[in-house]
Amino acid sequence: MNVPTHFRCNASTWAGVALTLATMPTAHAQSGYTVNTLTGMIGGSYTEYLDNSDIAYGNLPRFTLSGYLVGSIGGPADDTSPRSAKWATSTAATVSASNRFPLSTYMSTQAVSDNGVWQGLWSTYDSTTKRANGTTITSAPSVNRTLDGNRYNATIRDINNLGQMVGTQYEQSNYKPYYWASNQGVRLDCGGCDTAVPLTINNRGEIGGWIRTSNNPAGTFATVPAIWRNGSVAWTGDPRVVSEYAMGVAMNDAGTLVVQAPGAKRSYTVSASGTVLQLSPQASDVVAKDINAAGVVVGAVDGRAVMWVNGQQIDLAAHLASKGVSQANTWQWLSIYDINDKGSMLVYYRAPDNTLRKARLTAKP
């Protein structure tokens, strides 16, 4: 296929990538952490992010309806609508959020670049997709198309430091993979598959996600992880190795892809050369969420927050205790959602009063 120019990296971009790779932080080298509880952050389908400046991004409830009004319209006891927010860096024990954009914009956060400059947004008002550079919001290019008289809205899954986005449009009863950059949106090739969902894009323009294919020994349809390079599928996981339902969920600039098989409750990493490594194969429930430049993978194993360094599982509670973090023995650390290149993390935990909360662990050099 002819590769669009916006899929290509120029010399200065590759030089920046080379510098990034050459100056990667040493994995797992933090001297300690500053711990903040982040108030008001809602999750669900709205993911939390941590940029390389340790600013956290996510969503706050726009409003809460309860009591007589909700009962009168037959709604739930509580109803929330998300709005984009950020949690500034701080040494305070508790950090409150500030609205990322005016309330009138109806924007919720869908994705944030590693450098925090770009955000992929979705409007809770008219279901349109936007892209923000700082606080300047524009419509995502070529997102809302009309095919056969029908309107197809896009869903943004990830955005990189160049503002390049990946996601899907639901067309003709299937999810079609898309890439957006500059003022152009392009459907990604997926080798004739009927459905594909890109979930992550690194700063080299490599894309990870999943495709549905019948290319397996049984000849049946299988959902397998995939990597796109230069707009075409460059790797698909063998379902005999990574199960018949697996997806690429995160990828660093070295090209290492994190693969999650939710049905089998297994996780893997796939190197740029295609080497597959299963994470914590002895466990029964493994969920990998993210990877940073140093190759540290984070997530949860059997309900406990963990990280993997060079493929070796490290319990977060034990790691924090070794760094002198006072909450290590009083909080129940459930899962790590995100890790940045400094080693700072967003964590889900259970407090001593049995409430579920979210915290930022800001790494100290």
Give the C-alpha separation, 146 to 187, whole Å.
14
What pLDDT is attached to residue 10?
A: 47
Residue ranges of alpha helices (H) inside the chain are 11-22, 68-72, 239-242, 316-322
**How does residue 9 score in pLDDT terms, banded at 50, 70 and 90?**
very low
Residue 86, number of CB atoms within 10 A of its CB: 20
Separation CA 98–CA 60 (nearest Å): 9
CA gyration radius, the chain: 20
Mean pLDDT of the chain: 83
Name residue 51's beta-bridge partners: none
Q: What is the mean pLDDT of residues 223-240?
A: 88
User: CB-based contacts of 93: which residues, under 8 Å, 6+ apart?
Assistant: 35, 36, 37
Q: How far is CA 335 from the centre of its chain?
A: 14
CA distance 58 to 45: 11
Q: 94: pLDDT confidence band, cut at 50, 70 and 90?
A: very high
Per-residue confidence (pLDDT) for residue 219, from 0 to 100: 59
Q: Write down the pLDDT at residue 97.
A: 93
60, 92, 128, 156, 343 from 110: Cα distances, Å: 13, 27, 12, 7, 22
* C-beta of residue 298 within 8 angstroms of C-beta of residue 288: yes
All domains in the chain, ordered by first residue: 32-364 (2.130.10.10)
The predicted-structure confidence for 170-198, as pLDDT tens digits, reads as follows: 776 788 899 988 767 788 988 778 789 99
Percent of the chain with pLDDT over 90: 56
| pLDDT score of 85 more than 60 | yes
pLDDT number for residue 114: 97
Return the pLDDT at 2: 39
pLDDT tens track for 56-84: 999 988 765 444 333 333 333 333 578 89
Confidence of residue 19 (pLDDT cuts 50, 70, 90): very low
pLDDT, residue 220, reads 66
Helix (H) or strand (E) holding 33: strand 32-38
The whole-angstrom separation of Cα 338 and Cα 350 is 17
Work out the average pLDDT over 222-232: 90
In the prediction, which pLDDT does 145 show?
A: 54
Contact 325, 314 (CB under 8 A): no
